[in-house]
Amino acid sequence: MLSRLWLKGALKLSKKNTSVVAKQRRAGWTYLAPATLLIAIMSFWPMIQAFLMSLKTGSSANMQWAEPLFYNYKRILSDKLFIRSVGNTFLYLIIQVPIMLVLAMLLAQMLNNKDLKFKGLFRTCVFLPCATSLVSYSLIFKSMFATNGLVNSVLLNLGIIDTNINFLGTTSTARVIIIIALIWRWTGYNMVFYLAGLQGIEYSVYEAAKIDGANSWQTFWRITVPLLKPTIVMTGVMSINGTLQLFDESVNLTSGGPANSTITMSHYIYQNSFGDFVANFGYASAMSFIVFVMVAVLSAINMKVGDKRD
């Protein structure tokens, strides 16, 4: 008798728990449904449409399925200008991203010092470039590094150069200017993430390391970097994503020149869609999908390398 009563009670309790879990699941999906639907409509559906468009050729008013179907993708392999844009973009990525992230981490470490005065002012000054309009700061850099701009005037007055340098008209210097502009613009943005991560680390950890005889380098390398690893991975993924889609600097600083030597992938895609070239949305969509795959693969590698969980 007692066993039957116990079994009935257990069944009732199980049903009650099951109903509570089911209600929680329904409530969760109810709250997630609007955002999920919005993401599907605004993100995934355009991706599918872009892929389908990449299989077509012709003008926007009369697009037809390509013959063969992957004609646009085969065309990419023989497009020297697209290959050059890929090389330029990865050059900016390889040089600018590591320098920017290391500089952002060092600045965050310095500005996280509890004994530093005017920390708020210094943090604002470092972050301020990020609040500047992309077009505005590109135009400012363009005027500064013009043949008769501020930089040439300063160098001439200091006796460092004898004649004005055409910074934006020479391939090597134009690429350097783009890299400098990117570092100036985005270092403060990444510094904020590192600063937030550092403020989540208890100061007692550093005090314990100091008592144990650890120097500043050992403390930074063995405490700060491991504890900031999730933030480093996140900023790395965002920086790779942003650099592979680099557009404003190429358009506003150098216009892709001289002779398309600084053009980026996004800039070239724009030219094939709305720029100087004949509008070819099918070919532009194929290039966009290639960029999408690059972003996905590099982000996955970055996250895999940064994930050291067992």
pLDDT digits (tens, 9 = 90+) for 227-242: 888 888 889 888 988 8
The 10s digit of each residue's pLDDT in 196-210 is 888 888 877 877 888
The 10s digit of each residue's pLDDT in 153-167 is 998 988 888 888 888
Q: Is the pLDDT of residue 285 over 70?
A: yes
The 10s digit of each residue's pLDDT in 59-98 is 767 788 888 888 899 999 889 999 999 999 999 999 999 9
Instruction: Tell me the three-class secondary structure of the chain, residue by residue.
Output: CHHHHHHHHHHHHHHHHHHHHHHHHHHHHHHHHHHHHHHHHHHHHHHHHHHHHCCEECCCCCCEECCCCCHHHHHHHCCHHHHHHHHHHHHHHHHHHHHHHHHHHHHHHHHCCCCCCCHHHHHHHHHHHHHCCHHHHHHHHHHHCCCCCHHHHHHHHCCCCCCCCCHHHCHHHHHHHHHHHHHHHHHHHHHHHHHHHHHCCCHHHHHHHHHCCCCHHHHHHHHHHHHCHHHHHHHHHHHHHHHHCCCHHHHHHHCCCCCCCCCCHHHHHHHHHCCCCCCCHHHHHHHHHHHHHHHHHHHHHHHHHHCCCC
Residue 2's pLDDT band, with cuts at 50, 70 and 90, is: very low
Residue 3's pLDDT band, with cuts at 50, 70 and 90, is: low
pLDDT at position 18 is: 60
pLDDT at position 136 is: 85
Contact 270, 288 (CB under 8 A): no
How much of the chain, in percent, has pLDDT values that exceed 90? 18
| Mean pLDDT, all residues of the chain | 84
What is the model's pTM?
0.82
pLDDT at position 104 is: 92
pLDDT at position 310 is: 46
Q: Is the pLDDT of residue 112 over 60?
A: yes
